[in-house]
Chain A
Amino acid sequence: DTAVSQTPKYLVTQMGNDKSIKCEQNLGHDTMYWYKQDSKKFLKIMFSYNNKELIINETVPNRFSPKSPDKAHLNLHINSLELGDSAVYFCASSQGRLAVQELFFGEGSRLTVL
C-alpha cells in the first residue's frame, strides 16, 4: 500500500491552462504539505494543512490554491499556468501540528508547461 500517493505523476500542458494535482495519505497523519522541487533539485515548502486548516502559505502566487476536503487529502489547483511553474511537486504528510517531525513524501508530480 502506498502511504502518500499523488496523481497524476506526469502532466504536460500549455501556458494559460488550469490544472490540478491530487494527493492522498493513508498514514493517519494530521498534517499535509505541498513542496516544489525546481530543476536544481531544491525543495521548497509551498503550503501545509492541519486537519483541513491552512497552517503555512509560503508567499506562493495566488494562482496556486490548495484545497483539503479532509485530513487525508490535499489537492493543488493551479490557474493560468506559466512556464516557470514547470517543476516536480511533492505532497508530504507528517504527524503533529505544532512541531513537524518526520515527513513522508509521495512520488512526485512532474509538471511541464509548454
Chain B
Amino acid sequence: GQQLNQSPQSMFIQEGEDVSMNCTSSSIFNTWLWYKQDPGEGPVLLIALYKAGELTSNGRLTAQFGITRKDSFLNISASIPSDVGIYFCAGRSIQGAQKLVFGQGTRLTINP
C-alpha cells in the first residue's frame, strides 16, 4: 500500500524553540493534513492543505503543501508545554482518493 515517510520520529526540544517536521510520499498527493494526538485521545486536525504550494497557518503552526505534491512540512514556532504530543501527517493520493494514509508520527517532547 501507499506509504508516507514522516520525520523525525521523535524530537526533544527546549520550551521556546521552533520545531520542524516533514512528510514525503512516493506518489502525488491532492490533499495533505496534519493532526495532533494527545495521550488517550484521538487525533485532532490542525491544518488542511489542498493546493500545491499552499502555505497555511493556525496560530503558531504553519504547514505547507510542497510544490512537487509529494511532500508537506509542519512548523511550530515558540513551542510551549502543551505542544507535547504526537504529530501525524496524512495524505490523499489520486489513486487512493477514498482514504487517507498516515505517516508514522513525530513524537514531540518539550523540556521546560
Contact = CB atoms under 8 A, between A and B. Distances in A.
B48 A102 contact: yes
Contacts, number: 64
A40 to B, nearest CB: 7
Interface in A52-73: 55-56, 58
With a 10 A CB-CB cut-off, give which of A58, A98, A103, A108 has the most chain B CB atoms.
A103
B63 interface: no
A104 B98 CA distance: 15
A103 B100 contact: yes
Contacts of B40: 107-108
A90 B42 contact: yes
B97 A105 contact: no
A40 B102 CA distance: 13
Chain B at the A interface: mostly helix, strand, loop or mixed? Answer: strand
Contacts of B102: 42-44
Nearest to B88: A43
Given A40-B104, A45-B100, A56-B98, A100 B44 contact: no
Interface string A28-60: 000001000000111111001000000110100
10 contacts: A44-B102, A45-B99, A56-B99, A90-B43, A99-B31, A99-B97, A102-B48, A103-B43, A105-B42, A107-B41
Given A41-B37, A43-B43, A104-B45, 9 more contacts: A41-B104, A42-B104, A45-B101, A99-B30, A99-B92, A99-B98, A101-B31, A103-B90, A108-B41
Interface of A: 4, 33, 40-45, 48, 55-56, 58, 90, 92, 97-108
